[in-house]
Chain A
Amino acid sequence: MNLLTGVLFLPLAAFVVALLLPRNSGAGRTWALLSSAGIFLASLGLLAYFDRNIGGEQFGVNIPWIQSPDIHFAISVNGVSLWLILLSTFLTPICVLISWNYIKDRAKEFYAFLLLLEFGLIGVFLAQDLFLFYVFWEVCLVPMYFLIGIWGHDRRIYAAVKFFLYTMAGSVLMLAAIIYLYVRTHTFSYPAIVDMLGSGRLVFSPNEEILLFLAFFIAFAIKVPLFPLHTWLPDAHVEAPSAGSVMLASVMLKMGTYSILHYCLPLFPGASHACAPWIAVLAIIGIIYGALVSLVQPNMKKLVAYSSVSHLGFVVLGIFTFEQAGLDGAVYQMLNHGISTGALFALVGLLYERRHSLEIKDYGGVATAAPWLSTVFLVTTLASIGLPLLNNFVGEFLVLQGTALANFTWTVWAALGVILSACYMLWMYQRVFYGELGDEVKHHMPDLNPREWAVVIPLIVMMVWMGVYSQSFLPPVTKNTAMILKQTSVNVSYRVQAPAGAKSVEVARAR
Chain B
Amino acid sequence: MPANFGFNPTDLTRFLPEMLLAIFGTFLMVLDPILHKRASYAFGHLTILGLLAALGGSLVAYNRAGPAFGGMLVIDGYGTFFRVLVIAVGILTVLPSYRFLARQEAETSEYHALLLFSIAGQCLMVVANDLIMVFIGLEISSIASYVMAGYLRDDKRNNESALKYFLLGSFATGFFLYGVALIYGATGSVNLSTVRAQVLQQNAEPVLLAVAAALMFVGLGFKVSAAPFQIWAPDVYQGAPTPISGFLSAGPKAAAFAVFLRIFFTAFEPIGARWEPLVWGAALLSMCVGNFAALLQTNVKRMLAYSSIAHAGYVLVAITARSDDGAAALMFYMAAYAFMNIGAFAAVAYLSGKGDRFVNIEDFKGLAKKQPMAAGLFTIFLLSLIGVPLTGGFFGKFYIFRAALESHLVWLTVLGLLNSAVAAYYYLRILVMMYMHEPSEAAEAVEPLTTGLRLALVLPALGTLVLGIFPNWVLEFAGKSANIIR
Q: Name A's B-contacting residues (CB within 8 A).
A: 23, 66-69, 106, 109, 134-135, 138-139, 141-142, 145-146, 149-150, 156-157, 160-161, 164-165, 168-169, 172-173, 175-176, 179-180, 182-183
Report A-chain residues with C-beta under 8 Å of the C-beta of B292: none
Report B-chain residues with C-beta under 8 Å of the C-beta of A180: 405, 410
Q: Is the CB of B402 within 8 A of A69?
A: yes
Given contacts A138-B389, A157-B436, A182-B402, contact A68 B424 (CB under 8 A): no
* Cα of A357 to Cα of B424 in the assembled complex, Å: 33
Q: Is the CB of A149 within 8 A of B436?
A: yes
Q: Is the CB of B402 within 8 A of A68?
A: no
Extra A-B contacts (5), CB below 8 Å, given A145-B428, A168-B424, A182-B402:
A66-B471, A142-B383, A175-B417, A176-B414, A179-B405
0/1 per residue, B459-478, Cβ < 8 Å to A? 00000000000011001100
Q: Is the CB of B436 within 8 A of A183?
A: no
Report A-chain residues with C-beta under 8 Å of the C-beta of B421: 165, 168-169, 172
Q: Is the CB of B435 within 8 A of A146?
A: yes
Report A-chain residues with C-beta under 8 Å of the C-beta of B425: 161, 165
* Cα of A23 to Cα of B370 in the assembled complex, Å: 12
Q: Is the CB of B417 within 8 A of A165?
A: no
Q: Is the CB of A135 within 8 A of B436?
A: no
* Cα of A68 to Cα of B476 in the assembled complex, Å: 8
Q: Is the CB of B402 within 8 A of A160?
A: no
Q: Is the CB of A135 within 8 A of B389?
A: yes
List the 6 closest A-B pairs by CB distance, nearest first.
A172-B417, A135-B389, A169-B421, A149-B436, A138-B389, A168-B421
What would be 12 A-B contacts, judged by CB atoms less than 8 Å apart? A138-B389, A139-B389, A139-B390, A146-B435, A150-B435, A161-B428, A164-B424, A165-B421, A176-B414, A179-B402, A183-B405, A183-B406
Q: Is the CB of B476 within 8 A of A175?
A: no
Report B-chain residues with C-beta under 8 Å of the C-beta of A150: 435-436
The answer to whether the Cβ of B479 comes within 8 Å of any Cβ in the partner chain is yes
Report A-chain residues with C-beta under 8 Å of the C-beta of B413: 176, 179
Q: How far is the CB of A318 from chain B (nearest CB, A)?
A: 30
Q: Is the CB of B389 within 8 A of A66?
A: no
Given contacts A66-B475, A164-B428, contact A176 B401 (CB under 8 A): yes
Report B-chain residues with C-beta under 8 Å of the C-beta of A146: 435
Q: Is the CB of B417 within 8 A of A173?
A: yes
Report A-chain residues with C-beta under 8 Å of the C-beta of B471: 66
Report B-chain residues with C-beta under 8 Å of the C-beta of A145: 428, 431
Report B-chain residues with C-beta under 8 Å of the C-beta of A172: 417-418, 420-421
0/1 per residue, B363-406, Cβ < 8 Å to A? 00000010010000000000100101110001000100110011
**Which of B386, B413, B432 counts the most chain A CB atoms within 10 A?**
B432
Report B-chain residues with C-beta under 8 Å of the C-beta of A66: 471-472, 475
Q: How far is the CB of B51 from chain A (nearest CB, A)?
A: 30
The SS class assigned to the B binding surface is: helix
**Which of A66, A172, A183 counts the most chain B CB atoms within 10 A?**
A172
Q: Is the CB of A175 within 8 A of B435?
A: no
Instruction: Give the nearest-CB partner of B436 in chain A.
Output: A149
Q: How far is the CB of A288 from chain B (nearest CB, A)?
A: 31
* Cα of A23 to Cα of B368 in the assembled complex, Å: 13
Report A-chain residues with C-beta under 8 Å of the C-beta of B372: 23, 109
Q: How far is the CB of A150 from chain B (nearest CB, A)?
A: 5
* Cα of A183 to Cα of B383 in the assembled complex, Å: 26
Report B-chain residues with C-beta under 8 Å of the C-beta of A182: 402
* Cα of A169 to Cα of B415 in the assembled complex, Å: 11
Instruction: Give the nearest-CB partner of A137 in chain B.
Output: B389
Report B-chain residues with C-beta under 8 Å of the C-beta of A169: 418, 421
Instruction: Give the nearest-CB partner of B404 in chain A.
Output: A179
* Cα of A153 to Cα of B471 in the assembled complex, Å: 39
Report B-chain residues with C-beta under 8 Å of the C-beta of A141: 388
Instruction: Give the nearest-CB partner of B388 in chain A.
Output: A138
Report A-chain residues with C-beta under 8 Å of the C-beta of B390: 135, 139
CB under 8 Å from chain A, chain B span 114-166: none
Report B-chain residues with C-beta under 8 Å of the C-beta of A135: 389-390
Partner of B388, one of A142, A157, A173, A179: A142
Instruction: Give the nearest-CB partner of A156 in chain B.
Output: B436
CB under 8 Å from chain A, chain B span 14-55: none
Instruction: Give the nearest-CB partner of A148 in chain B.
Output: B436
Report B-chain residues with C-beta under 8 Å of the C-beta of A142: 383, 388
Q: How far is the CB of A59 from chain B (nearest CB, A)?
A: 23
Given contacts A135-B390, A173-B414, contact A160 B432 (CB under 8 A): yes
* Cα of A477 to Cα of B139 in the assembled complex, Å: 68
Q: How far is the CB of B333 from chain A (nearest CB, A)?
A: 15
* Cα of A154 to Cα of B431 in the assembled complex, Å: 17
Q: How far is the CB of A423 from chain B (nearest CB, A)?
A: 37
Report A-chain residues with C-beta under 8 Å of the C-beta of B386: 168
Instruction: Give the nearest-CB partner of A211 in chain B.
Output: B410
Partner of A68, one of B369, B414, B475: B475
Partner of B402, one of A67, A106, A109, A183: A183
Report B-chain residues with C-beta under 8 Å of the C-beta of A183: 402, 405-406
* Cα of A345 to Cα of B421 in the assembled complex, Å: 30
* Cα of A468 to Cα of B390 in the assembled complex, Å: 43
* Cα of A180 to Cα of B402 in the assembled complex, Å: 8
Report B-chain residues with C-beta under 8 Å of the C-beta of A23: 372
Q: How far is the CB of A444 from chain B (nearest CB, A)?
A: 27
Q: Is the CB of B432 within 8 A of A157?
A: yes
Q: Is the CB of B476 within 8 A of A67?
A: yes
* Cα of A142 to Cα of B435 in the assembled complex, Å: 13
Q: How far is the CB of B264 from chain A (nearest CB, A)?
A: 23
Report A-chain residues with C-beta under 8 Å of the C-beta of B394: 138
* Cα of A173 to Cα of B413 in the assembled complex, Å: 9
* Cα of A135 to Cα of B432 in the assembled complex, Å: 23
* Cα of A214 to Cα of B222 in the assembled complex, Å: 39
Instruction: Give the nearest-CB partner of A64 in chain B.
Output: B472
Q: How far is the CB of B427 from chain A (nearest CB, A)?
A: 10
Report B-chain residues with C-beta under 8 Å of the C-beta of A69: 402
Report A-chain residues with C-beta under 8 Å of the C-beta of B401: 175-176, 179
* Cα of A73 to Cα of B56 in the assembled complex, Å: 35
Instruction: Give the nearest-CB partner of B417 in chain A.
Output: A172
Q: How far is the CB of A475 from chain B (nearest CB, A)?
A: 35
* Cα of A156 to Cα of B428 in the assembled complex, Å: 14
**Which of B405, B420, B424, B436 counts the most chain A CB atoms within 10 A?**
B436
**Which of A138, A146, A168, A173 counts the most chain B CB atoms within 10 A?**
A168
Q: How far is the CB of A67 from chain B (nearest CB, A)?
A: 6
